[in-house]
Amino acid sequence: MAISDNEFEQLRDFIYNICGIYFHNSKKYFLENRFSHRMEATETKAFQDYFLLLKSPNGSEELTFLMDEITTNETYFFRNISQLEAVENDLLPELVEIKNKTGTRKLRIWSAGSSSGEEAYTLAMILLEMRSKLLKEWIIEIVGTDINETVIAQANEGIYNAYSVRNIPDAYRNNYIREDYGKFILSPEVKKLVTFSKLNLYDDAKMAIMESFDLIFCANVLIYFDGASKSKVIRHFYNNLQPNGYFFLGQPESLHGVNDKFKTVHFQGCFGYQK
């Protein structure tokens, strides 16, 4: 189904105002394709009829389905190895030392744009391996959020295919993964450290209550935002962090020209941002 340039702009602006995701004109065909799927599902024949449905008081459920269609969710376990090594070898010992001085034995980590949960669960495995020594008797909370309800349901299930688990080191796989007829099932020990929920990063009120995180990861999410919406979301992430907390983007991304409040910190093979 083809939509006119004017219709594309209406839809693009509507999506942008809802969640901050910006679609360039080059993405018109992509939106047409996803849009036609939802029109077929709702049995609407014309663009304006579907657009009115989205904006109606009963349109929130359909908006959820549309968000699932237009968001991309490609991820796997142990994806950004250099970041994970920085967390394990540098940041956790540093954070533990700081918190021990205040008597606070609690660690909070946020995987923003968590997709089907691989990043959050990877962090959970790493922290479990450190629990016998560095994190003994610590409270560990890992939060995963995404705007896509379908991938949140997948994350909560904790069952993955061979592609998702292909990079998991043998020691972790043996300790925390059970294979069953080609499906790879996470242990309850890993799952109980992580909670998942729906969150629109462009929602000021919801972002304001995401408080007191020591580490925030947001990989390959802000590439879909324009400068203004990216700057807005980054300001929230800064406020969501504890003093001395760290923020990580995807490896091809940076905050250059977006936010100057963070201090850039270099690690072996990667860099992060410290509050």
Sheet strands side by side (includes 263-267) = 194-198, 139-146, 106-112, 213-218, 241-249, 270-274, 263-267
Residues 101 and 214 in one domain: yes
Furthest-apart CA pair in the chain: how many Å?
64
pLDDT of residue 177: 97
Global pTM reads 0.86
Q: Is the pLDDT of residue 127 over 80?
A: yes
Q: Is residue 75 part of a domain?
A: no
CATH of the domain at 212: 3.40.50.150
In a domain, 222, yes or no: yes
Q: Give the residue carrying structure tokens 């008597």.
A: 103
Which ranges of the chain would DSSP assign to H, the alpha helix?
A: 5-19, 28-42, 47-55, 60-70, 81-86, 92-102, 118-130, 149-157, 162-165, 170-176, 188-191, 204-208, 227-240
Q: Report how many domains make up the chain.
A: 2
| Cβ–Cβ under 8 Å, residues 186 and 116 | no
Angle at alpha carbon of residue 28, lines to 22 and 34, rounded to 5°: 90
Residues 15, 112 within the same domain = no
**How do residues 160-211 score in pLDDT, each as one tens digit?**
999 999 999 999 999 999 999 999 999 999 999 999 999 999 999 999 999 9
Cα distance from N-terminal residue to C-terminal residue, the chain: 47
Q: Is the pLDDT of residue 2 over 80?
A: no
Can you give the pLDDT at residue 11?
Answer: 87
Mean model confidence pLDDT for the chain: 92
Q: Are strands 139-146 and 106-112 parallel, antiparallel or unpaired?
A: parallel
Q: What is the CATH number of the domain that holds 35?
A: 1.10.155.10
Query: Where do we find the tokens 């702009």?
Result: 9
List the domain range (segments joined by +) for residue 41: 5-70
98 lies in the same domain as 66:
no
pLDDT tens digits, 213-255: 999 999 988 888 888 999 999 999 999 999 999 999 998 788 9
Residue 46 maps to a domain: yes
Q: Report the C-alpha gap between 93 and 95 in whole angstroms.
A: 6
Question: Of the given ranges (34-38, 102-106, 143-147, 148-152), which has the lowest mean pLDDT?
Answer: 34-38
HSE-up (13 A, CA, CB side) for residue 224: 19
- Output the CA–CA distances (angstroms, integers) from residue 169 to 125, 172, 266, in the order listed: 11, 6, 25
- The predicted structure's pLDDT at residue 193: 97
Task: Report how far residue 56's alpha carbon sits from residue 177's, in angstroms, rounded to the nearest whole number.
Answer: 45
- Mean pLDDT in residue range 120-144: 95
Q: Say what the pLDDT of residue 18 is.
A: 86
Q: How confident is the model at residue 84 (pLDDT cuts 50, 70, 90)?
A: very high
Q: Which neighbouring-strand residues pair with 10?
A: none
Q: How many CB atoms lie within 10 A of CB 121?
A: 28
Partners of 107 in the β-ladder: 140
> Same domain for 133 and 155?
yes
Whole-angstrom distance, CA of residue 20 vs CA of residue 228? 9
263, pLDDT greater than 70: yes
Query: Quick one: 151 and 251 in the same domain?
Result: yes
Last residue of a domain, which of 24, 51, 70? 70
Question: Do 241 and 153 share a domain, yes or no?
Answer: yes
Q: What pLDDT sits at residue 1?
A: 66
